[in-house]
Amino acid sequence: MTDSAFSDSWRRHHRGPWAGLRRAFLATIAGGVGWVCFTLLYVAFWAHGFSLFQSIVVIIVSLLVLGALITGAWASFGMSWATRWDD
C-alpha cells in the first residue's frame, strides 16, 4: 500500500464517505439562495443606470458563474469517488 492510498483511505474513513456530498448539496443550496438574493438586490438597487439588455447580460453572467461554482463542487465530489484505471 502506498502512502497516498493509505492517507486517502484514512481520510475517507475518518471524514465519512458522504462529507463531499453534504458539501456539494450545501454549495448548491447556498449558491441558489445567494444568486436569488443577488438578482433581487441588483434589480432593486443597481440596475437603474443600465439598459434592459445590459441588465439581462449581468444576470446571465452571474448565472454562468454560479453554474461553474456548483459544477466544481459536484465534480469534486464525483472525483473523490473515482478509482484509478489500473485498480
Q: What is the pLDDT of residue 12?
A: 57
3 or 46: which leads in pLDDT: 46
Burial class for 12, CB neighbours closer than 10 Å (0-12, 13-18, 19+):
middle
First to last CA, the chain: 12
What is the per-residue pLDDT across 10-56, written as a single tens digit (0 to 9) for each? 555 556 767 788 889 999 999 999 999 999 999 999 999 999 999 99
Cα(87)–Cα(84) distance, integer angstroms: 6
Question: What DSSP designation does 48 have?
Answer: G
Which residue bears the cell 474513513?
A: 13
Say if residue 74 is exposed, middle or buried (CB neighbours under 10 Å; 0-12, 13-18, 19+): middle
